[in-house]
A and B are shown apart, each in its own frame.
Chain A
Amino acid sequence: MSWLLDDATCRDDVLGMHEGLAADHGKVFDAVWAGCVDARILEFCRLRTATLLGNTHAWNEPRSAAAVAAGLDEQMVESLAQWPTDDRFDAATKSCIAFAEQYVIDIHGVTDEQVHDLATAIGNDGVVTLTTALAAWEITHRFDNSLLGTAPTNDSTGAF
């Protein structure tokens, strides 16, 4: 599955080749999921950025436990690509997903107004948490794409 490790079956197997980094990588996500941003919103952003970066692994692995515990609606996950026109996504969620998309597609296109609106929706601490999460997910998505290869697509969401 991986060019680095013949019997690797997932990201943890490959990342585990560097135990210290693997531990720290996990702690970043522990802090993100335990932070001030609604875990359901974070999961939408994680999956949306995975789609934009073409990381099928992120869709195939289990959903975030924190998001599931917070009541993640799998039907909304299946409609994630339609978030701009789907009224089930509230204003705060839309602000976060829009920021996540902008972050991945064109970070220099982020505007003062966009960050102001985001801070109004989720607070300054939320903006820092979400931005750090996006950075960590971008690392992870690119790690998966570069070292794990392309996973078979088995999602029914139309994300890929």
Chain B
Amino acid sequence: MATTPRLVSAVDGKAPDIRTVLAHSPEVRAAFNNMYATLWSAGEVPADVKELVRLRNATQTGCGL
């Protein structure tokens, strides 16, 4: 498994990370971020429960970020 980003940064002078790599496709990134924000800010499920689910999912899928 790679431990460094596989794409270069799309932002001059910035190291590649999740934000600067996603910036290669700003419209798609913005739309996905909006949906992600809605998942966190709306609905009946408390935020602490969402965070537990997020962390459990990250563990199950081997996401170290």
Contact = CB atoms under 8 A, between A and B. Distances in A.
Nearest to B31: A31
A132 B28 contact: yes
A125 interface: yes
Given A127-B24, A128-B7, A21 B35 contact: yes
Contacts of A110: 2
Nearest to A109: B1
Contacts of A108: 1, 62
Given A21-B39, A125-B24, A115 B6 contact: yes
Contacts of B30: 31
A128 B35 contact: no
Most chain A Cβ neighbours within 10 Å, of B6, B10, B30: B6
A34 B28 CA distance: 9
A112 B6 contact: yes
Interface in B3-40: 6-8, 10, 21-22, 24-25, 27-32, 34-35, 38-39
Interface residues of B, number: 24
A32 interface: yes
If over half of B's interface residues share one DSSP class (helix, strand or loop), that class is named, otherwise mixed; here it is: helix
Chain A interface size, as a band, is 20 to 34
A90 interface: no
Contacts of A129: 25, 28
Nearest to A129: B25
B61 interface: yes
Given A34-B27, A124-B24, A128-B24, 8 more contacts: A24-B34, A25-B35, A27-B34, A27-B35, A28-B31, A36-B25, A107-B61, A132-B32
20 contacts: A18-B42, A20-B38, A21-B35, A24-B31, A24-B35, A31-B28, A35-B25, A107-B61, A107-B62, A108-B62, A115-B6, A124-B10, A124-B24, A125-B25, A127-B7, A128-B7, A128-B29, A129-B28, A132-B22, A132-B25
Interface of B: 1-2, 6-8, 10, 21-22, 24-25, 27-32, 34-35, 38-39, 42-43, 61-62
